[in-house]
Amino acid sequence: MDIEKEKNLLGGPLENCSKNPLTGFHRTGKCQTGPTDHGCHAICVIVTNEFLEFSKANGNDLSTPAPQYSFSGLKEGDRWCLCALRWKEAYDAGVAPMVILTATSEAALHHVSRSVLEEFAFVLSD
C-alpha cells in the first residue's frame, strides 16, 4: 500500500490527525499505516482521561512522558493515531474515544466496522 495514497473513512484524502503532539506510526501527523505497522495505527481519536486510564491499566501508558522516544505524554483533548485493536478494546469496555473520520485511514475497517466508527464520529458544532 502506498501510504501517500491512503484514503480516509469517507473516501477522500487522509487528513492530518495531529502535528502537536506529532502522531502516526510514521510520525507524519497522519494515521497512515502499512506492512510494518503491525498495530494498524489507523484511527484518529480525541483522547479522554477515561481512555488514558483504561489504556494504562491494560499495559499501554500513553500519558507518561517517554523522552527517549521524544514522547511528551498525552492529555485529554489531544488527537492521536490509535491502534485499531486498542480502540476496539476500549469500545468493548465502554471507554472508546471519539473518532475524526476524515483523519482515520480506511485501513481501520479491517478491524472495526464503519457503522461502529461512525457512531463515535466527532462533529464540530456550529
Using H for helix, E for strand and C for coil, what is the string for 53-97? HHHHHCCCCCCCCEHHHCECCCCCCCEEEEEHHHHHHHHHCCCCC
Residue 125: pLDDT above 60?
Answer: no
Peptide bond into 97 cis (omega under 30): no
Count of CB atoms within 10 A of residue 4's CB?
10
Q: Tell me, what amino acid is at 40? A: C
Report the percent of the chain where pLDDT is more than 70.
Answer: 94
Cβ atoms of residues 107 and 40 within 8 Å:
yes
- C-alpha torsion 119→112→101→93, nearest 10: 50
State how far the Cα of 2 lies from the Cα of 105, in Å rounded to an integer.
12
Q: What is the mean pLDDT of the chain?
A: 93
Complete domains list, the chain, with CATH: 3-119 (3.30.56.110)
Residue 96: pLDDT above 70?
Answer: yes
State how far the Cα of 43 lies from the Cα of 90, in Å rounded to an integer.
12
Average pLDDT of span 64-85: 93
Amino acid 50: pLDDT: 97
State how far the Cα of 109 lies from the Cα of 117, in Å rounded to an integer.
9
How much is the pTM? 0.92
Residue 2: pLDDT above 60?
Answer: no
Residue 3: pLDDT above 80?
Answer: no
Amino acid 124: pLDDT: 65
